[in-house]
């Protein structure tokens, strides 16, 4: 853009100087009584008495050219400027990168072409010959005209200079080329102290029962930072809320009544921890009272249930279930099929680090797979049909503390004297009968999303979505949402400080603060379903800032296979700036939070950075499904200086900037093929066809990588007209791996593992477990077919992309 304005300025400057030269010469000739005419006379044909100034052929030619330039400048200067602006606007709207069209800025046509044409006319000499001035009065008129023209040109030159100066800031690099220092210049303004202040300000707002207050605060802050078109996106959704009276568990043998946290059912206990008691529940559970025997099912795995069903009748009994190892929704579906009537859900202290003592901690879980339960698969907009779904399971589900479990099984301590942890379990020869009462209320409530954006310069129709979440009223009293919101706000502040100086990313960056996350990612699901057609075509990547601080000992990045290489590069660069940097394992695993819709329904590549506790990573997976009442003091204890918050902000920000600004999307096709092959390693039955298909996928991906991506990433070989086609293929690579249906709680995107301990396709793992009792099982065959079709679809996709590029190249040749 600067080059275009620079050429325009130089063009007008040269023309202006030419005009001034002609004017001075014209004035001199007028005062000497000579004349100028559009005539071409050879030296040997000139009549005596001609001035020496006109006897010089070179001088005549020069004067002719300069005078022609002046006329052309006066005739076409306004049109040229309009033509350039129009070309610029066209490039901004329809090109992936800014290419300066030099053909649109042409110097004035040479006068000799027109003079040659005039010379062919019989009367061209007489037609274009001017008579000498007749009197001094005539000379004065000519002089007055010339002075007016000179003044007009001078004023016009001032306007040109002002226009170029205001529209071409010299200190801002063009977005058409990537400045290596650009990202660091933006990120260096992010400071831990600013994040800390923002965090503390947000924490003061959570006490309000109206989440609109928090939404308004976020919108006001984002707008003040300069984010464009920040607005509320509201949806009226069905929320399952705690009843004013807390749920209870009563021992039939003694008649003792307990609240979920293990405290006796007394008025004093309710007053001391009333809020925690209310929010210890399972959203969208069935409600009612059930009196039955408690059966310990451990983690509720398929093997556990097969063992128990051999020795006991489980129909309408109460399962004592540990959280972890598999998705909760999947385990509940197995219990429901087995015939259980209720579930007491808890976390075994042995599954947590020794520094954590959750004995009396209560927690919340959601049984909602995603979105508004009353409008499954479509947005909750005005006029939508609402289904009657107050509960999403027939089971009565109640989360309870480890201390209450210990009382149920008569085990006072979980750890022995030598500090070895003894898992909680009910003795097989003992019978425990309890009465559980689950009380919830279902209401229509408004969930608010806050959405703003920075419009892209060259590809405004390609979106990088950055998502955090904010507190929703009537949900658990956690405060990690404040960390999430403070981090996204810190990056917006750094980004907008650069945007205000004239820079813009190539692609649009959309910032979202989601509401209703605790109830099943409702805000993000409804927004995604509302704009599904647009998002399917235009979303390039999703950067998740869900729960950035769950520990302080290990950085734990999660990324799609196509983005893992980019995350490795950013993490290694971050390590060079720190004294200590332990080895980081980057994986594609199922995560909690609002990235769910973008992964499983849009097939969008994602990245998430978070700090974890190493010991927690070594324990069972899916413990993060429990939402604890995390205090702000605990977050500040984990990161008192907020340096970890700053690191996550900068790592996430650098990934956002690179995806938003690189001419070629930094996605890696071959890594997807390698991930597929790795998922099929080992002793797995019936996978020979899958292995053969995976081999063909790798061949196609390698050809695509070498033939198209390598030249595109080299500026010397890059063809601008092919960049858009290439990027469209890259952003849709993972869509081939969305299966039609997956077991409850499992990702539909089969590129993601259940956890870091599992390196196989999750739907195949579940199918093999399911078919163990049977010699032949349709579930396994269906799962194998789903995986085979996904791999084949991806292979065909890469091959079709190569064919398109080759046909375009052949057409040009």
Residues 624 and 681 in one domain: no
pLDDT in tens, 380-412: 999 999 998 889 999 999 999 999 999 988 765
Q: What number of helices (H) and strands (E) belong to the chain? A: 27, 19
pLDDT above 80: residue 182 = yes
Q: What is the mean pLDDT of residues 773-788?
A: 79
Residues 499 and 645 in one domain: yes
pLDDT given at position 438:
95
- Which one is predicted more confidently, 89 or 308? 308
- What CATH number is associated with residue 787? 1.20.930.40
Q: What is the mean pLDDT of residues 405-421?
A: 69
Is residue 293, in this structure, part of any structural domain at all? yes
pLDDT given at position 477:
54
- Among 640, 662, 684, which residue terminates a domain? 662
pLDDT given at position 510:
98
pLDDT above 60: residue 718 = yes
- The residue assigned the tokens 């065959």 is 781
Q: Quick one: how far is CA 285 from the chain centroid? A: 32
Residues 261 and 206 in one domain: no
Residues 723 and 743 in one domain: yes
pLDDT given at position 84:
31
The highest-confidence range among 78-82, 130-134, 561-565, by mean pLDDT, is 561-565
With H, G, I as helix, E, B as strand and everything else as coil, classify residue 114. Answer: helix
With H, G, I as helix, E, B as strand and everything else as coil, classify residue 187. Answer: helix
> Apex CA 709: angle with CA 703 and CA 712, to 5°?
140
Cα dist. 783→599, 677, 740, 768 in Å?
Answer: 19, 17, 11, 9
- The residue assigned the tokens 């979440």 is 469
pTM attached to this predicted model: 0.78
Is residue 131, in this structure, part of any structural domain at all? no
**Length of the chain in residues, anyone?**
813
> Apex CA 527: angle with CA 525 and CA 531, to 5°?
115
Is residue 88, in this structure, part of any structural domain at all? no
Beta bridge pairs of residue 258: 249, 264
SS3 content of the chain, % helix, strand, coil (to 5): 45, 15, 40
- The residue assigned the tokens 């080759």 is 806
In whole angstroms, how large is the CA radius of gyration of the chain? 36
Is residue 78, in this structure, part of any structural domain at all? no
- What CATH number is associated with residue 294? 3.50.30.30
pLDDT given at position 794:
95
Q: Are 496 and 505 a contacting pair, CB within 8 Å?
A: no
pLDDT in tens, 544-556: 999 999 888 889 9
pLDDT given at position 269:
57
Is residue 77, in this structure, part of any structural domain at all? no
- Which one is predicted more confidently, 378 or 81? 378
Question: Residues 740, 746, 751, 753: what is their CA dihedral angle, to the nearest 10 degrees?
Answer: -160
Residues 478 and 615 in one domain: yes
Work out the angle between the directed axes of helices 192-203 and 480-499 (0-180°, nearest 10).
130
Give the confidence band of 557 by pLDDT, cuts at 50, 70, 90.
very high
pLDDT given at position 36:
40
pLDDT above 70: residue 39 = no
What are the start-end ranges of the H helices in 662-761?
669-679, 688-704, 710-713, 720-731
Q: What is the mean pLDDT of residues 43-54?
A: 40
pLDDT above 60: residue 378 = yes
pLDDT above 60: residue 798 = yes
pLDDT above 90: residue 531 = yes
Q: What is the mean pLDDT of residues 168-173?
A: 42
Residues 305 and 394 in one domain: yes
Is residue 125, in this structure, part of any structural domain at all? no
Give which of 471, 557, 546, 468 is closest to 511, Cα–Cα: 468
If you ran DSSP here, which 8-state letter would residue 110 be given? P
Beta carbons within 8 Å of 349's beta carbon, 6+ residues apart: 356, 357, 358, 359, 402, 414, 415, 421, 424
- The residue assigned the tokens 């947590």 is 352
- Among 610, 639, 662, which residue terminates a domain? 662
pLDDT given at position 38:
36
pLDDT given at position 23:
59
- Among 629, 662, 695, which residue terminates a domain? 662
Ramachandran assignment for 577, one of left (phi > 0), alpha (psi -120 to 50 degrees), beta (any other): alpha
Residues 676 and 696 in one domain: yes
Residues 598 and 504 in one domain: yes
- Which one is predicted more confidently, 776 or 695? 695
Number of domains composing the chain: 3
pLDDT above 70: residue 676 = yes
Q: Quick one: how far is CA 5 from the chain centroid? A: 34
pLDDT given at position 687:
84
Give the confidence band of 155 by pLDDT, cuts at 50, 70, 90.
low
SS3 annotation, 718-737: CCHHHHHHHHHHHHCHHHHH
Q: Which helix (H) or strand (E) holds 158?
A: helix 136-167
Is residue 61, in this structure, part of any structural domain at all? no
Percent of the chain with pLDDT over 70: 69
Q: Kindly state the tokens that stand for 373.
A: 């339960």
pLDDT given at position 389:
86
Residues 249 and 236 in one domain: no
Q: What's the whole-number average pLDDT of the chain?
A: 79
Beta carbons within 8 Å of 378's beta carbon, 6+ residues apart: 384, 529
pLDDT given at position 17:
54
pLDDT above 80: residue 775 = no
Give the confidence band of 725 by pLDDT, cuts at 50, 70, 90.
confident
pLDDT above 70: residue 736 = yes
- What CATH number is associated with residue 497? 3.40.630.10
d(CA 2, CA 4): 5
Cα dist. 540→167, 321, 366, 605 in Å?
Answer: 30, 40, 29, 7
Q: Which helix (H) or strand (E) holds 628?
A: strand 627-628
Is residue 137, in this structure, part of any structural domain at all? no
pLDDT given at position 190:
96
pLDDT given at position 143:
64
> Which range of residues forms the domain containing residue 675?
670-810
Residues 432 and 532 in one domain: no
Q: Quick one: how far is CA 799 from the chain centroid? A: 27
Q: Concatenated DSSP letters for 443-504?
A: EEEEEEEEEEEE--SSEEEEEEEEEEE---TTS----HHHHHHHHHHHHHHHHHHHHTTT--
Give the confidence band of 566 by pLDDT, cuts at 50, 70, 90.
very high
Give which of 533, 534, 531, 514 is closest to 522, Cα–Cα: 514
pLDDT above 70: residue 673 = yes
Q: Quick one: how far is CA 610 from the chain centroid? A: 16
Sheet holding 288-298, edge to edge: 257-258, 248-251, 433-438, 288-298, 318-322, 342-346, 396-399
Q: What is the mean pLDDT of residues 423-427?
A: 89
Q: What is the mean pLDDT of residues 189-197?
A: 95
Residues 463 and 607 in one domain: yes
pLDDT given at position 96:
39
Residues 431 and 283 in one domain: yes
Q: What is the mean pLDDT of residues 36-55?
A: 39
């Amino acid at each position: 853009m600067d080059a275009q304005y620079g050429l325009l300025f130089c063009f007008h400057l040269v023309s202006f100087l030419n005009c001034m030269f002609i004017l001075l010469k014209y004035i001199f000739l007028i005062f000497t009584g000579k004349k100028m005419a559009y005539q071409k006379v050879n030296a040997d044909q000139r009549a005596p008495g001609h001035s020496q100034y006109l006897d010089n052929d070179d001088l005549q030619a020069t004067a002719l050219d300069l005078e022609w330039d002046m006329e052309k400048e006066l005739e076409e200067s306004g049109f040229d400027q309009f033509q350039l602006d129009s070309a610029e606007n066209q490039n901004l709207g329809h090109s992936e990168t800014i290419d300066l069209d030099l053909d649109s800025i042409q110097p004035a046509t040479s006068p000799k072409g027109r003079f040659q044409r005039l010379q062919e006319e019989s009367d061209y000499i007489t037609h274009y010959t001017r008579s000498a001035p007749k009197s001094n009065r005539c000379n004065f008129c000519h002089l007055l005209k010339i002075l007016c023209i000179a003044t007009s040109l001078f004023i016009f030159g001032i306007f040109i200079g002002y226009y170029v100066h205001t529209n071409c800031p010299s200190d801002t690099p063009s977005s058409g080329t990537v400045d290596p220092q650009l990202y660091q210049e933006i990120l260096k303004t992010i400071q831990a102290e600013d994040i800390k202040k923002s965090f503390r300000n947000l924490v003061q707002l959570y006490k309000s029962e109206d989440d609109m207050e928090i939404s308004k605060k976020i919108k006001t802050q984002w707008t003040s930072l300069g984010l464009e078109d920040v607005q509320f996106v509201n949806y009226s959704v069905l929320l399952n809320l705690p009843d004013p009276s807390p749920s209870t568990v009563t021992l039939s043998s003694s008649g003792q009544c307990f609240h979920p946290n293990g405290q006796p059912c007394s008025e004093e206990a309710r007053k001391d921890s009333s809020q925690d008691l209310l929010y210890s529940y399972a959203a969208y559970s069935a409600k009612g009272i059930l009196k039955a025997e408690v059966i310990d099912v451990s983690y509720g795995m398929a093997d556990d249930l097969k063992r128990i069903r051999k020795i006991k009748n489980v129909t309408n009994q109460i399962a004592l279930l540990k959280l972890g190892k598999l998705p909760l929704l999947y385990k509940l579906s197995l219990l429901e099929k087995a015939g259980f009537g209720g579930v007491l859900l808890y976390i075994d202290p042995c599954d947590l680090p020794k520094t954590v003592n959750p004995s009396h901690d209560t927690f919340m879980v959601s049984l909602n797979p995603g979105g508004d339960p009353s409008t499954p698969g479509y947005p909750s907009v005005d006029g939508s049909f609402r289904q009657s779904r107050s509960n999403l399971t027939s089971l009565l589900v109640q989360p309870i503390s480890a201390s209450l479990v210990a009382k149920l099984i008569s085990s006072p301590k979980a750890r022995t004297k030598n500090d070895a942890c003894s898992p909680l379990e009910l003795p097989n020869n003992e019978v425990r009968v309890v009465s559980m009462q689950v009380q919830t209320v279902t209401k229509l409530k408004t969930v608010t999303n806050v959405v703003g954006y920075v419009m892209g310069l060259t590809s405004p129709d390609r979106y990088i979505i950055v998502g955090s979440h904010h507190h929703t009223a009537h949900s658990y009293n956690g405060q990690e949402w404040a960390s999430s919101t403070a981090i996204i706000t810190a990056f917006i502040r750094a980004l907008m400080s650069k945007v205000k100086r004239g820079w813009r990313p190539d692609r649009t960056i959309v910032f979202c603060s989601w509401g209703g996350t605790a109830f099943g990612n409702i805000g993000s699901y409804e927004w995604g379903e509302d704009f599904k057609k647009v998002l399917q075509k235009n979303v390039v990547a999703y950067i998740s800032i869900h729960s950035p601080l769950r520990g302080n000992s290990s950085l734990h990045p999660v990324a799609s296979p196509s983005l893992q290489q980019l995350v490795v590069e950013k993490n290694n660069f971050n390590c060079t700036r720190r004294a200590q940097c332990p080895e980081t394992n980057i994986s594609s695993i199922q995560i909690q939070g609002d990235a769910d819709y973008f992964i499983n329904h849009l097939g969008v590549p994602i990245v998430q950075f978070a700090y974890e506790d190493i010991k927690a990573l070594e324990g069972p997976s899916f413990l993060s499904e429990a939402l604890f009442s995390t205090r702000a003091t605990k977050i500040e204890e984990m990161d008192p200086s907020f340096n970890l918050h700053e690191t996550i902000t900068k790592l996430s920000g650098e990934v956002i900037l690179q995806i938003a600004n690189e001419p070629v999307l930094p996605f890696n096709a071959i890594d997807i093929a390698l991930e597929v092959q790795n998922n099929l390693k080992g002793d797995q039955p019936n996978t020979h066809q899958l292995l053969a298909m995976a081999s063909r996928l790798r061949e196609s991906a390698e050809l695509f990588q070498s033939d198209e991506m390598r030249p595109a990433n080299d500026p010397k070989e890059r063809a601008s007209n092919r960049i858009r086609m290439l990027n469209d293929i890259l952003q849709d690579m993972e869509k081939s791996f969305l299966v039609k249906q997956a077991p409850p709680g499992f990702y539909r995107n089969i590129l993601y593992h259940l956890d870091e301990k599992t390196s196989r396709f999750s739907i195949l793992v579940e199918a093999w477990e399911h078919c163990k009792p049977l010699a032949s099982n349709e579930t396994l065959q269906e799962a194998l077919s789903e995986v085979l079709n996904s791999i084949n679809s991806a292979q065909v996709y890469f091959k079709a992309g190569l064919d398109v590029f080759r046909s375009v190249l052949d057409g040009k040749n």
